[in-house]
Structure 1
Amino acid sequence: MTESDGKITEVGADGTAAGSRRDELAANLAEVRKRIEAACAAAGRDAGEITLVAVTKTFPASDVRLLSGLGLADVAENRDQDAAPKAAACQDLPLTWHFVGQLQTNKVRSVASYAGVVQSVDRSKLVTALDRAAVRAGRRLRCLVQVSLDDQEGRGGAAPGDVRTLADEIAGAEALDLGGVMAVAPLGGDPAEAFARLAGIAAQVRQSHPEARVISAGMSGDLEAAITCGATHVRVGTALLGGRRAIVR
């Protein structure tokens, strides 16, 4: 708490005034929802079909709390070392945590303890490890197959030809539920073309697994193209939270 001109102001964990940060996040959230509604209207879709996932990497748990208070229920992280303490600090909130980064098998046990959704499943070894960890934790994990839409190393994702096999493996696992597919648009490419390809792959998966209806695609700069191509989940960071900042715990 700080006192200025006789007024007491609550200060958030990142050192900013909590009230002003809440106002900033509320304005950003309203603008993102407006974009989603406009994209859905243009595509002849219902905005209620879209799940907005806030990507809170590099931002503190105090921002997650503010977003939860504004009605957001889905939060994503891409690094376990950041996600685990943040999830622990917010365990009293009604949130679903999504893990969206490349996941190494030595981090699986930790991720399985807090994540409700793992969006970045891209190899058989990871399916086996996640299933074992979920069984050990007594939890069920919803998993998406991450699809590679380019050949760039370091971004993760299964080759399109391997997606159906991975989907079968997830669906057959003891403690995993197949949710659908996820992808990131190629750098410098046409996102609409990439997301149209993803929609086709998703349709192939649904031929064998009709319940796998999630298509996670689109971020701050290309969510409209993703929604036009059938995305059910959009992962938004910068447009909601602003430029990256160091996490303050």
Structure 2
Amino acid sequence: MTERQRARYEQLGANLEVVERRIADACAAAGRERSEVSLVVVTKTYPAEDTALLAALGVTEVAENRDQDAAPKAELCVDLPLTWHFVGQLQTNKVRSVVRYADLVHSVDRPRLVESLAAAVRNAERAPLGCLVQVALDKEAGEGQHRAGVAPDEVPALADLIADTPGLQLAGVMTVAPLSGPLAGDPAASFGRLAEIASAVRAAHPAATMVSAGMSGDLEQAVAAGATHVRVGTAVLGVRSPLG
């Protein structure tokens, strides 16, 4: 390891310790076991070298949001013991590439994408792909129509479709705190609403236990509301440079 790599390794390790403490404290405050919450480190815009350092530090789950960045990074890190989450808006023309490396796709928000994912899984002859329904909470109030995700009242039908589609496994639900509507600026209420939606999905599909919510700025509220996976990038890797 070079001196630069060692410095980055130590920086990432220190950041991880802070995030781990935040998650542990949030779990304790919510009366939950720390083992109930998984940390997914969002490595977007950072190089494969950082992903390898994170793996060396014990990180087991990483996330990407753009296939053009994720595919080559996953290839470089293919021998590392990592679970790969795809968390970005997914166009159908990227599906074939994404199913080559992703273990879970958090951003399933339309039947056409379900069909494309299933076809790509069949063609790749791979294990079933975990899928989460992306919930757009702002759409419940008629806002955010341009944003990815389905309105809460559309979740049951999409969940049923995923569960009934060969090659896919319904893993749970995901959301990002909304930017508009009555829940904007209130992550606690947002994640509480997601918890209600997740509970209804589990009632119909008991194996769909994942609740993906919370990021660097609001992971505590997500843990309090029952999130099983928090997606943290900046707090671990640092402030991102603008995408080109």
| Fold conserved between structures, TM > 0.5 | yes
SS in 2 for 1:197: helix
Deviation string, structure 1 residues 179-228 (Cα, Å, up to 9, x no partner):
00000001352000000000000011111101101000000000000000
Which has the greater radius of gyration?
A: 1
Compute the RMSD of aligned alpha carbons.
1.2
1:9-65 per-residue CA deviation (whole Å, 9 max, x = no partner) reads: 716xxxxx0000000000000100000000000000001111100000110000000
Is 1:156 paired with 2:148? yes
Provide the C-alpha distance between the structure 2 equivalents of 1:88 and 1:55, rounded to a whole number of angstroms: 17
- Contact 1:75 1:98 (C-alpha < 8 Å) held by counterparts: yes
Q: Distance in 2 between matches of 1:136 and 1:166?
A: 22
Q: How does 1:1-249 map to 2 (within 5 A)?
A: 10=2, 17-139=4-126, 140-150=128-138, 151-187=143-179, 188-245=184-241
1:3 matched to which residue of 2? none
Native 8 Å contact 1:59 1:246 kept in 2: no
Equivalent residue, structure 2, for 1:5 = none
Q: What is the alpha-carbon distance in structure 1 between the residues aligned to residue 110 and residue 178 of structure 2?
A: 20
Rounded to whole Å, the distance in 2 between the matches of 1:225 and 1:87 is: 31
CA distance in 1, matches of 2:115, 2:161: 9
TM-score, normalising length: structure 1: 0.92
d(CA) in 2 for partners of 1:122, 1:233: 19
Measured after TM superposition, the shift of residue 149 of structure 1 is 1.0
User: What CA distance in whole angstroms lies between the structure 2 residues aligned with 1:48 and 1:96?
Assistant: 17
Distance 1:153 1:115 in 2: 27
Q: What TM-score do you get using the length of structure 2 for normalisation?
A: 0.93
Alpha carbons 1:142, 1:178 under 8 Å: kept:
yes
Gaps of 5+ in 2: none
Kindly tell me: are residues 154 and 86 of structure 1, through their superposed partners in 2, closer, same or farther at Cα, counting changes over 3 Å? farther
Tell me by how many angstroms 1:245 deviates: 3.2
Unmatched tracts of structure 1, length 5 or more: 1-8, 12-16
Determine the structure 2 residue equivalent to 1:14: none
**What SS does the aligned partner of 1:181 have?**
strand
Three-state SS of the structure 1 residue aligned to 2:46 is coil
